[in-house]
Amino acid sequence: MVETSVSSGQLVVLTGPSGVGKGTLVQRLLTLHPDWFLSISATTRSPREGEFDGQSYYFLSKDQFQTWITEEKLLEWAEYAGNYYGTPREPVETQIAQGKTVLLEIEVVGAKQIQQTFPAARRIFILPPSVEILETRLRGRGTDPDSAIAKRLAQAKEELAAAPEFDYQIVNNDLEQALGELSQIICE
Ligand code: 5GP
């Protein structure tokens, strides 16, 4: 993996299991700080209803994704619940060079890779109040079939074990409180 230096902006990695509320927290942070930049990931999973290419994700075929890996276009990538996900390198590097705060909302395996490529990144792990509450949230979201939810839950349990490896851990019990803690870490 190519070593990348941070010249002026900062890179903030938000990770944690699917359903923990990373997406909601990120959207709230962007509303509070419209000058921050959210990286748009590439994925091989199919778009959900209301998701559009280049907005939610760059939706790629497996062959295209493989080409991006080979050409080192991705800052990190991981297989997650049967699909590939990765962070396009160029937009992140450009925004950081311009002094921006760049947010990545990614799963745990990829977040660990960022540890090597951007040692200066602030790596934040979002925890659910409990595994039971995480399951309720995943089912309540209604975006995935039962088989996908079961896969995500099994994966979530493994991911939670990695929480201590990250710089910060935040429990997303009360959204406002979690948001306050996050803002403090990023702005300090
Ligand atoms: P979803 O399919 O629900 O949109 O995302 C599944 C998981 O993939 C989530 O935990 C999400 O944070 C993660 N993810 C999204 N984009 C990326 C990425 O670029 N890299 C990695 N490693 N994970 C990602």
- Which atom of ligand 1 is closest in space to residue 87's alpha carbon? 19
Q: What sign does the CA torsion over 151, 81, 91, 93 have?
A: positive
- Choice between 37 and 119, residue whose per-residue pLDDT is larger: 37
Terminal-residue alpha carbon distance, the chain: 29
* DSSP state string for 27-61: HHHHHH-TTSEEPPPEESSPPPTT--BTTTBEE--
Residue nearest to atom 3 of ligand 1 (CA): 18
- Which atom of ligand 1 is closest in space to residue 143's alpha carbon? 3
DSSP state of 175: H
Tell whether the model's pLDDT for residue 148 goes beyond 90.
Answer: no
Predicted confidence at residue 149, as pLDDT, reads 85
* DSSP state string for 77-104: EEEETTEEEEEEHHHHHHHHHTT-EEEE
Q: What is the mean pLDDT of residues 164-177?
A: 96
Residue nearest to atom 6 of ligand 1 (CA): 18
The predicted-structure confidence for 123-143, as pLDDT tens digits, reads as follows 999 999 999 999 888 888 777
What pTM was computed for the model? 0.90
Average pLDDT along the chain: 92
Tell whether the model's pLDDT for residue 5 goes beyond 90.
Answer: no
Predicted confidence at residue 18, as pLDDT, reads 85
d(CA 120, CA 52): 32
Predicted confidence at residue 2, as pLDDT, reads 47
> Is 87 near ligand 1, meaning CB less than 6 Å away?
yes
What are the phi and psi torsion angles at 101 (to 5°)?
Answer: -85, 120
- 10 Å CB burial of residue 34 (0-12, 13-18, 19+) is exposed
The predicted-structure confidence for 58-116, as pLDDT tens digits, reads as follows 999 999 999 999 999 999 999 988 899 999 999 999 999 999 999 999 999 999 999 88
Predicted confidence at residue 153, as pLDDT, reads 87
| 4: confidence class by pLDDT, cuts 50, 70, 90 | very low
Strand blocks (E) in 118-173:
122-127, 168-171
Residue nearest to atom 19 of ligand 1 (CA): 86
Q: What is the mean pLDDT of residues 45-54?
A: 96
